[in-house]
Structure 1
């Protein structure tokens, strides 16, 4: 059996293609039933499992609602930090030339069977090997040219001190699985993880008797000087690549700093917007309070204007009482008591009688005022009831189309003007004269009739 290659590239993450919701031209529909589904979970459900509790804990700790997070999945989708909602790798053993799925008769080939065994074991052990990569979608395609897996996973990192305690972070997820921090672009967590996965796949292939070809520089067709020259050129290219990697890392750091600054500015903008919204709400509340106060003042003024006449009457009575009181005080002569420090006054008997009379009148007035107040209050209630009944009557008359007749009926109760009285008197006089003429004509007709008889 010829040596085969292991392919482990990054995928685009087209879940509709992976799950065959969308069929491409390179798919053989007759073999779609051969595909193997290991797990198919919606991305939103997967995010709820991975980050739901962390999101709820974070929101519960926030004192301000504007700092709470509504949708962590949407936040990652809109993130400016190059974060992805999930990642995909495509795992393939061999190529279509050496590992076709089916032969010319449409039967699964022996090469494909061996590759399927390797891919099956790899898929079933992926989650156990990678506890920080949550596998939410995994399918094996046998309806294309070569057997292959689509591995879709979400990186889950724990232990953050600020913000959500659990987050989406591929680098930190790899680090928490034991991979060392990156020292260069070629020596980072992702490369180390891919090398480990390739080694595991290579071991599985060997167990199935599949020889794996390790790609590299072949010396078979080169002389020693040519080989050394090629190696020196390769070394120079690697140095240039490392220099470019350093530049890229610096640019990426600048980009990360800018993204962080942008995120901070966005957070500040959100806080300012929330503050402005609070001020707007306060302004609206104050406006409503002012409107209520103005309405209350208007109602109070209406009540005061309604009772102005009564108030003026009370003022007049009060003035009269004050005048009478002054007169009473003027007739009293202060005198010192021989039996104590209390002051006494002396009045004439006639003045005393006046005082008693004034007191009696004052008491009577108070009683009358109280009586009239009660009577006025009762009349006001009756007026309110009658007004309500009149309004109901008006609505009833209007609903029956009797508006004009009702107006004429009301006018009949109004006092007549002098002109109307003269017209009515003239009409009555004309009617009286007409009746007298009729009475005079009737005897003459009777007399004439008797003569003819």
Structure 2
């Protein structure tokens, strides 16, 4: 017959379940009265006993109120160092198959009695064996399938030089109980302590002649040093696996970033292509506008040159008027006024008519000059506006980097010379004759193939 198992796993730490503040589905309420409570103390009272003095001493030395500890339990709950408010282990001998609490008649079995006696001795020596683990709640359950203990304890470590002198620290508490400082996940104080507690339970079983095997300890047939060495290798492999996972995540993220960047570049390329197409259209419009502006400027200059009366024409008119004026002056004979006053001038009728004609021409020319002056002023404004528009268009083309492309585009709009037209017509004619010869050669080729 195989030996009974010793189980020493970590518990969930549900004090309400342990103390039967509620009844779970796996509990037999009729046997709840059989349970045995060794100690039941509130967490607040337990913390006051363990850390109350240390908290008060620490607060007394603080000048700033925000550094004082109001509730040490809450401080541990919110700690980032991984501490628990308390810890729990479940201690069990056997299973429901070899150590049931009751038999088919509802009576306590002999195997259960052996387990109860062993667990009772284990609990009563727990605090002496573990002085730095304050046992504040401990219950023996007999209302489930197999007898088992829930032991709930608070680690208490002292001797700190800074901050609180006494604190909640499972690793420090176990070190002060003689366990070596941990080196990793599978080689630490907690594992060593649990191994010692299992060994103690095995000793209790041997004293009673109970054959046992370990459960809740995955060492198989390895010794503790061998188990630690194996677990260190496992830890290294797990670390490597975590690194590989991290690298894989980084690569996946990099791939996602590259895919997103590629998508962005494609979108940018499409946007640039659309922008280039828009610039081509703008260039065409600008070419047309510049061409129209240059044509208007050229026409305006031609009109101005044609009607430029302010220079040569005006000089000619002035010269002619001066010549005629001199003739009239020489033809006029002054006559003295017998009654005094302003002199008179005597003219021949023909000279008088000539003078009137010259005067009429002068008046007409003055009116014509005024008319042309207004028209010239308007043309000058128009030319200035067109010139400014052309310059703006040229600056716009240059700012968009379309200078050379725009020049080539404008050249392509220029009308072909007669020589170029003749050359293009010759190329078209040669292509037409070549296609015609090929078409004529096809029937002849088919005839040869049929004869062969």
* Alignment TM-score, normalising by the size of structure 2: 0.49
The structure that has the greater radius of gyration is: 2
TM-score, normalised via structure 1 length: 0.49
